[in-house]
């Protein structure tokens, strides 16, 4: 038989021990959650770093492509293309919109729409007085990132029958302008 003091101390010690033994599972349980949160944090930080590194892309994007809102009709579209700056001529009255399509990369939309124009059955026709101007003009057009050109034809049209000077003509099938459409996914 133990003395009162020993019994009381024993109970106290037992309670103390119980508390201390209760700690490890609580510690590891919360610890697990902390670990998961830490892993989640790491993923977030990694993603954020990659994202921030790529954000300047959006600025270049906005500069390269005009917004859809700015080209409500084919006239404004033609003006945006502005073949004249390359020394080419185009009959604006004959320009019509032949289609529009979403631009996909690897099957994923990138926030671009392509608006295609033509001047008749054989795509978009542009002309110039001499072949070198035509070639130079076409090279200028080809360098633009906001245009898509499909099949290209250079042809010589004799003006003899129409009592007009000879012209050199470039016909582009699938001549499309890429425009930005609003896309809420990116910031």
Partner 1 sequence: MQLVSSFDQLEEALAVGDRTPILLGGELVYVSSDIDSIESVTNAESIADQYVQQPPRVAARGSATFAKDKARLFVAVQKAAILACSNYKNGIYLLADQYLAYGLSLKTNVIVIGGGVFNVESLNIEVFVFTGQKLVKTVERTSSNNGALVDAALQDIMQEFPEHAIHWCSPLPPPPFGELSRRMGFAEVGDAPLRSLVKRKVFSKAQTNVEPTGWLPAASLVLLGGAIFAAGAGLQWSNLTSARAEYKNEILGYEEAYQNSTQSLDLLRHRDYLLKTEAEHKERVQLIDLMLSHVAQVDGVIIEHIRFYDGDAANNQAIQSSFGLDGQGDDFSISIKVPIDEAAGSARDQAEPLLAELTHKTGMTIRVIDHSQSKLTIGKTDRHYWNYRLGGTTQ
In angstroms, give the least distance from the CB of 73 to partner 1.
25
First-residue to last-residue Cα distance in the chain: 77
Q: For partner 1, give the closer residue by CB, 1 or 162.
A: 1
In angstroms, give the least distance from the CB of 70 to partner 1.
19
In angstroms, give the least distance from the CB of 91 to partner 1.
19
In angstroms, give the least distance from the CB of 76 to partner 1.
23
Helix (H) or strand (E) holding 66: strand 66-67
Strands 175-180 and 108-118: antiparallel
Q: For partner 1, give the closer residue by CB, 57 or 75.
A: 57
Q: For partner 1, give the closer residue by CB, 73 or 160.
A: 160
Q: For partner 1, give the closer residue by CB, 82 or 183.
A: 183
For the record, the structure tokens of 166 come out as 């000879």
The Cα–Cα gap between 99 and 96 comes to: 9
What backbone phi and psi angles, to 5 degrees, belong to 41? -60, -40
């Amino acid at each position: 038989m133990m003395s009162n003091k020993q019994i009381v101390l024993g109970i106290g010690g037992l309670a103390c021990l119980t508390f201390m033994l209760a700690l490890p599972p609580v510690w590891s349980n919360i610890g697990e959650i902390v670990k998961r949160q830490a892993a989640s944090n790491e993923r977030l930080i990694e993603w954020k770093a990659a994202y921030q590194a790529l954000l300047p892309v959006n600025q270049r994007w906005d500069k390269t492509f005009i917004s859809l809102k700015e080209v409500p009709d084919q006239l404004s579209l033609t003006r945006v293309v502005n073949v004249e700056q390359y020394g080419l001529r185009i009959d604006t009255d004959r320009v019509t919109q032949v289609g529009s399509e979403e631009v996909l990369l690897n099957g994923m939309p990138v926030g671009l729409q392509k608006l295609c124009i033509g001047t008749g059955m054989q795509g978009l026709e542009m002309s110039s007085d001499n072949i070198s101007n035509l070639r130079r003009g076409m090279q200028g057009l080809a360098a633009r990132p906001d245009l898509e050109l499909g099949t290209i034809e250079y042809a010589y049209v004799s003006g003899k029958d129409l009592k007009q000077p000879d012209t050199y003509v470039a016909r582009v099938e699938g001549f499309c302008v890429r425009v930005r459409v609003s896309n809420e996914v990116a910031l």
